[in-house]
Amino acid sequence: MRRWGGEQLLLALPMLFLVVFFYGPIANLLREGLTKDGAFSLEFLWTVLTDDYFRYVILFTLWQALLSTLASIALGLPLAFILTHYDFPLKRVVRALTIVPFVLPAITVALGFALLFGRNGYLNQFLMNLFGLSEPPLPIMYSLTGIVLAHAFYNAPIITRTVHAAWERLDPRYEESARALGASRFFVFKDITLPMILPGLLSGAALVFIFCFLSFPIVLSVGGGRFSTIEVEIYTRVVTRLDPQLVNYKIGAALALVGLVLSLAVTYLYLRLQGGLARQTEQLRPRSTAPLFAGVRDLLYPTKLLLWLYVLCSVILFVGPVLAIVVDSLREETAEGARWTLRWYSYIFTPNYEALVGDSPLRAIINSLSFGLGATAIAVPLGLIFAYVIARLRWAGRRLFDTLLMAPLATSSIVLAFALLRAFNAPPLRLVGSSTAVIIAHAVIIFPFIVRALVPILESLDVRLTEMARSLGAGRFRALREIELPLVATGLIAGAVFAFALSLGEMSATLMLARPGLSTMPVAVYRFLSQHSLGAPSAMSVVMIAVSAIAFILLERWGERALRF
């Protein structure tokens, strides 16, 4: 007991934080779904599981998550292949920017899809003018197809990075030997490469499924109100419907219980797969790469034609929405027609009051930055302590502990905000409506990503360095401070940048918890969308995109290893 006393003391403070601001509120919310008139009851849970409408909502949530995961694999796997096997200009920058879509606010993605793929979007208008069509040829918005593509926009980079990390670790001699014995490229990939990268692929797919399962803003905005998932249903019943009898609160709590059980199960699977990936054999020599484009004649090869077709589709899907937002932020419709202008940027950086936002757009920008910094300041030490405990202590129930610790990852922002709303809406801790509530919610949401970034780095450290320091008289905490922390400093900084970018794009929890005057950039974009012009939300979105891109270019410089989920 004495041996682990230091670690137990180190663990006490962050565990207390999670108990007070996550486990306690979530347990209270689940209790509401399992009680009626103060007594234990399965009535609301039974209603959710047996009612045809709620069963449709649950099944549709699973179905769209599965389709979105498959679409993410289809888009992410070829890019992992390109990054592993080819060289091209600005490859490191491209690799860094692949993760930027993951941290973009969902409302920004919805805006970009509307500007590009909407009935009057740039792409549909271009195709209609090109082919003389009377109807848009790509009815993507407000459809299941739009939801799936928007989720793929977000999550394909996760597949790319997890598969690319696994592929780089493979010893290329296995594939070379098979090719030398006469195996075709297809059979080499099917029989040798795919089985060896499968843990990375399945690990990324499990994580993508979790994110798509818990998605709220994409379904709400890109689906256009035609589709409802568990998260959308909870938000609708809790926020938009007045219910003096609190029946909708009970139904929402029961739905949260169902969603949490399903997402925790997939999270446990993800952690098992990630553990298997970590045990893969490291490559013995570097993998050789070839130029992606060696000349005009190179385009005639079928493989290269397919790769360039993929690049074209990827540019339309990933660059198109972002480019549409940038163009729209620089245009203004007038009586004489559209003209280029910087008016919208001038507007969002002025301190003038804006009724739709509840404050000035500039205040929303300042709020986002301050909330992000505050949440990161809480989440970084929280995540560091938990990562250290997971990496150093070999408990028999470590996998279960790891799963419970990752519960915030398996809990949607809507459910977390709902739980905090119910737990801290009355004295002695009346936090709802304050900036403190928003910062706490953001910290709970982002800290698992810091843990996942640091655990592989801490596990890979040579423990003999610490043991030598201990043998020379250094205490456990001195060895941690002077040996281990400097070795993980770049990963820690990279994790902090990643967490800050995630906080910057968080909208769901802020929308439910913040009072007017505490709007953030994503909330301001959401509220600006009710205006006739899209110039202001486009300009605000460009600011968020720029901050995210700069953050991840710096992150690539500090160490991309922290981005390997």
* pLDDT at residue number 565: 43
Q: Per the structure block, which two tokens stand in for 287? A: 């993998």
Q: Is 165 a domain residue?
A: yes
* pLDDT at residue number 59: 95
Q: Is 291 a domain residue?
A: no
pTM recorded for the entire structure: 0.83
* pLDDT at residue number 440: 94
Q: Which of 175-189, 354-368, 457-471 has the lowest mean pLDDT?
A: 457-471
Q: Per the structure block, which two tokens stand in for 526? A: 């959401």
Q: Is 290 a domain residue?
A: no
Number of separate domains in the chain: 1
Question: 516 pLDDT band (50/70/90 cuts)?
Answer: confident
* Closest to 409 in 3D by CA, of 271, 535, 225, 289: 271
Q: Is 421 a domain residue?
A: yes
Mean pLDDT over residues 538-565, rounded? 67
Residue 420 clears pLDDT 80, i.e. is over it: yes
Q: Is 520 a domain residue?
A: yes
d(CA 444, CA 211): 16
d(CA 411, CA 23): 11
Q: Per the structure block, which two tokens stand in for 201? A: 């692929």
Pair 329, 345: CB distance under 8 Å: yes
Q: Is 374 a domain residue?
A: yes
**By residue range, what is the domain housing residue 494?**
5-284+297-563
Q: Is 289 a domain residue?
A: no
Q: Is 125 a domain residue?
A: yes
Residue 459 clears pLDDT 50, i.e. is over it: yes
DSSP label at 299? Answer: G
First to last CA, the chain: 33
Report percent pLDDT > 90 for the chain.
Answer: 15
d(CA 149, CA 481): 45
The residue with greater pLDDT, 461 or 172, is 172
CATH number of the domain bearing residue 426: 1.10.3720.10
Q: Per the structure block, which two tokens stand in for 218? A: 């994409």
Average pLDDT, the chain: 80
Pair 251, 41: CB distance under 8 Å: no
